[in-house]
Amino acid sequence: MFSDILPTEQSSGVISGGSMKGNIISWKDEKGFGFIKNDENGEHIFFHISSVIKGTRQPIVGDAVTFDVGVDSSNRKKAKDIFIEGVSFTNIPRRVFTEKVKRDRFDYYCYVAIVLSVAITLAVYIKMGQPRLALFPAAVAIMLFLYISVRTKKPANDIFSCGKCSSVVRHDARTIRAWNKGACKLYCRTCNQNWHREKPQRDSTKKYNRPQKSGCLGVLLFITFVPVFLISSIITLLV
């Protein structure tokens, strides 16, 4: 839940973050595009003004940026979600609240499909007396249940406020994963690193005061048991 996230050391209203870092080495203001040099491998990556998060000024050569890499319609690399470091963003609030994970329409569709699959399973098995045919809708119900249990959703807002220092940063894989697990109090990289440094001390003081939770073990056993049970049932019916 607490892996790395790019830091932000600016005050509220200033945003930083991104999976890659680089510098703008070319910018054509009249055409609205330029190139970024990737700090990691020196690669020159094209970007368009539409991929820059709107700030108080246009990009200029020499700007330090954070960005992600995507592809255009011709399958060529381009930079996206570009943040100019140190630029205040007038369209970003001083504090961004992250709402809890909510069930969406797709979840309800899956629930309906699960109920129907279970109903079909019972009908085929009880009414028609066909246990082998009943395995297929049963397997569909199980797979749908497992899918919605591990399905990763994304927050409606791409940015959030650090739960400790209140800096505004953008979500990455770590914070999205933590949010999907029910955490709404998320942290920037700096606060997260502080948490890691303090964690050994907290663990040593709480080791003998609180029993270890076994929720993850229970989920693992359940996920392992279902396929084994299903395969065993098929083998039993076919033998």
Residue 5 has pLDDT above 80, yes or no: no
Dump pLDDT digits (tens) for 168-180.
777 777 888 888 8
Examine residue 168 and state whether it is found in any structural domain, yes or no: no
In a domain, 227, yes or no: no
Q: Is the residue at 231 inside a domain?
A: no
* Residue 91 confidence (pLDDT) above 60: no
Please indicate, yes or no, if residue 217 is contained in any of the structural domains.
no
Q: Does a structural domain hold residue 58?
A: yes
Q: Is residue 8 domain-resident?
A: no
Percent of the chain clearing pLDDT 70 (strictly above): 67
**What is the secondary structure of 54-116 as a DSSP string?**
P-SS---TT-EEEEEEEE-TTS-EEEEEEEETT-B-TTS-S--PPPPP---HHHHHHHHHHHH
Give a yes or no: residue 94 inside a domain.
no
CATH of the domain at 43: 2.40.50.140
| Gap between the Cα atoms of 145 and 117, Å rounded | 11
Phi and psi for 46 in degrees, rounded to 5? -70, 145
- Residue-wise pLDDT for 130-140, tens only, equals 777 878 888 88
**Range 228-237, long-range pairs (CB < 8 A, 24+ positions):** 230/135, 230/138, 230/139, 230/142, 233/135, 234/135, 237/131, 237/132, 237/135
Grade residue 192 by pLDDT with cuts at 50, 70 and 90: confident
Q: What is the pLDDT of residue 24?
A: 92
Task: Specify the number of domains making up the chain.
Answer: 1
The domain containing residue 44 runs over which residues? Answer: 15-84
162 burial via Cβ count (<10 Å: 0-12, 13-18, 19+): buried
**Cα separation of 178 and 211, whole Å?**
22
Decide if 7 is inside a domain: no
202-232 in b/e burial notation, b at 16+ Cβ within 10 A? eeeeeeeeeeeeeeeeeeeeeeeeeeeeeee
Q: Of 5-9, 16-20, 48-52, 147-151, give the lowest mean pLDDT range.
A: 5-9
